[in-house]
Amino acid sequence: MTLHRSSARALIGDGTTAHRSYVEELANSYFFAYQQRPSAAEKRSWAESLDALARLLAAAGLDDVELLIEYQLPMCSLRVDVILAGVHPSTGEPAYVLVELKQWSGASAIEYARDLCEVPHHPVRRAMLHPVAQVNRYCEYLMDLTQVLEGHEHRVSGVAYLHNATDASVRSLLSAPVSDGRLFTRTTRDALVSFLQSKIKKDPDHRAGDALLQSRRAPGTKLMDVASKMVLEREHFTLLDEQQSAFSLVLRTLEKARKHDGAKELVLISGGPGSGKSVIALSLLGELSRARYRVAHATGSKSFTRTLQSTICHGRKGTGKLFTYFNSYERARSNDLDVLILDEAHRMRETSNGAPLNSKWAVRRQIEELIEAARVPVFLLDQHQVVRPGETGTTEVIEKTAAERGVVVRHVDLNAQFRCGGSRTYETWVLRLLGLEPGGPMRWPKEEKFALEVVDSPEDMEAWLRSKCGPGSTARIAAGFCWPWSDPEEDGTLVDDVRIGTWARPWNVNNQHGVGDVPSSDLWATHPGGSGQIGCIYTAQGFEYDWNGVIIGPDLVWRDDRWRAVQSASEDSALADASPTEFDRLVRNTYKVLLTRGMAGTVVYATDARTRAKLHELVR
């Protein structure tokens, strides 16, 4: 998608102020696309930077080359300032030049950071990506996810143009390792003219622009090669029973859909915690990528997606694009992908832009976007893991939406249990304890497969976990969101927010980068440095560890032979506006998730004395 198609000649117009009408046209397109007004700074940037580029193109004799202004990259919200779309002057092949425009008057490279820089007097003083590193990434991303460019990477190039700067004011940027001779200022304006003349000229039929805008957006075969090695060759992905049935059903459904071109079928895989949903998802990703299908993996969890990118991709170039989010498909065209694997589908939202469905800002339902994006959408979910208002991933919603669109639904129920020591007894115990399954709380019949303990203090919990957690095993403590969550102190010290008596511990780190050896919250469950902090529903959901500590906070207490949800005890702003009934349902689902993260055993502590007494009664 692009906000505006034009040319330098059209932007410049007759040289009067009237030509600035393109700024208002851009603003209107921006509002239509994103349902909000662009900022004054963005409009000022369009007026100044686009004018500077248009006049340079006119001087180069390229005033008729097509401009794709504010081009949105596939499957993300990032936009390229301008893509020049034309043909190569020598070969006549389609050619594209990505242009990153900066209004900076000066900037300097950050020492020991090869691709970062600082901009003096910028409204937000922070480290920024070197403009050439930025446009390089845009080029790479576009080539990886635009099928019309597959095998034609030579057709794409990128430049950064700092039209208000001089070479002297950005000297350290010019000498940075990433500059690659493609950073231009007003000092080197003539050099930029020569560069563009060597790369592109007018395409009289606008076929290059049409081809780029109409191309399917999906990972290319080179990316698929890497994915198949990363995922398919991981030896522990062994599918059993219903897992293999689900895997084979997806392949069979895809084959049928391909033979009946235009047909669409949906596979719905439901199962409890540890039933192997994510193993199926990753196995499908590896198998389908190896077979050269257009496939992507998506979740609604930032922690889960970042962990997949970190642990599976190992920083390999371009592979993170295989792991996306549910809101990445807001503007996907029909069947851009062959298969879209929707892991943790219970976390789907009403809309991708967060607007209420009945508001003027809503475009369409997220589930409709996801069904539309692939020939075979694959939903993997556990309905009891809906833990936040607005999460709509239930079998009923999926089936109803599919029926409305004439899409056949294929079902697989996963009965096997691979988490909690393979103990179906423990899973049933948790569901009945929290009233998510009929029958009422049951006594724990002590069994060898899984260890369950109730303790009288958080200190006892830590001691129990230390006694169990040997070399090579993992342990974490997670709690209900009943304490505030502070940012680290300026010196990097974590704040001990979770306080129970004299015992106090910090939540996992509330930032994107971590502090020292302590990981960011997204990696708390899997990084070795996460064991010293307390996790919550946002960082525990989707993960597993050997030994599981759970603190039931004052937001859920046992009174008069039933649970009572105490909304006033919650510090979770996401639940502040939930109705009492909704809060009750969501807080039970939250503790269901927290109680089922352990592979070998769980130890439970409740801050409320009467709740602890009830748990002791059930677990002796």
Radius of gyration from C-alpha coordinates of the chain: 27
Q: What is the pLDDT of residue 361?
A: 67
Q: Which residue, chain included where needed, has tokens 């906070």?
A: 553
* Rounded-to-integer distance, Cα 127 and Cα 348, Å: 33
Please, which residues have CB within 8 angstroms of residue 220's CB and are 6 or more apart in sequence? 143, 144, 145, 147, 149, 150
Backbone angles phi, psi at 230, to 5 degrees: -70, -40
pLDDT, mean over the chain? 84
* Rounded-to-integer distance, Cα 90 and Cα 24, Å: 37
Maximum pairwise Cα distance, the chain: 86
Instruction: Count CB neighbours of 20 within 10 A.
Output: 16
The fold of 221-414 is Rossmann fold (3.40.50)
Q: Which residue, chain included where needed, has tokens 């994915």?
A: 227
Q: In the chain, which residues have pLDDT < 50? A: 17-19, 124-125, 221-224, 226-228, 230, 232, 234-236, 238, 417
Please, which residues have CB within 8 angstroms of residue 238's CB and are 6 or more apart in sequence? none
- Threshold 0.85, pTM exceeds: no
Alpha helices in 215-259 (DSSP H): 221-227, 242-259
**Domain residue extents for the chain:** 2-214, 221-414, 420-618
* Rounded-to-integer distance, Cα 63 and Cα 201, Å: 9
Q: What is the pLDDT of residue 222?
A: 47
Six-digit token pair at 417? 């249990």
Six-digit token pair at 551? 């603190």
* Rounded-to-integer distance, Cα 344 and Cα 70, Å: 32
β 79-87/94-102 pair status: antiparallel
* Rounded-to-integer distance, Cα 206 and Cα 105, Å: 34
Instruction: Count CB neighbours of 311 within 10 A.
Output: 11
Q: What is the pLDDT of residue 125?
A: 47
In tens, the pLDDT along 238-254 reads: 465 567 677 878 888 88
Six-digit token pair at 57? 């193109």
What Cα–Cα distance (Å) separates residue 83 from each residue in 9, 101, 336?
Answer: 16, 11, 22
Contact yes or no for 327/352 (Cβ under 8 A): yes
Helix axes 277-290, 242-259, angle to 10 degrees: 40
In tens, the pLDDT along 461-476 reads: 999 999 988 777 889 9
Contact yes or no for 392/398 (Cβ under 8 A): no
Q: What is the pLDDT of residue 362?
A: 64
Q: Which residue, chain included where needed, has tokens 């939202």?
A: 349
Q: What is the pLDDT of residue 579?
A: 93
* Rounded-to-integer distance, Cα 384 and Cα 462, Å: 28
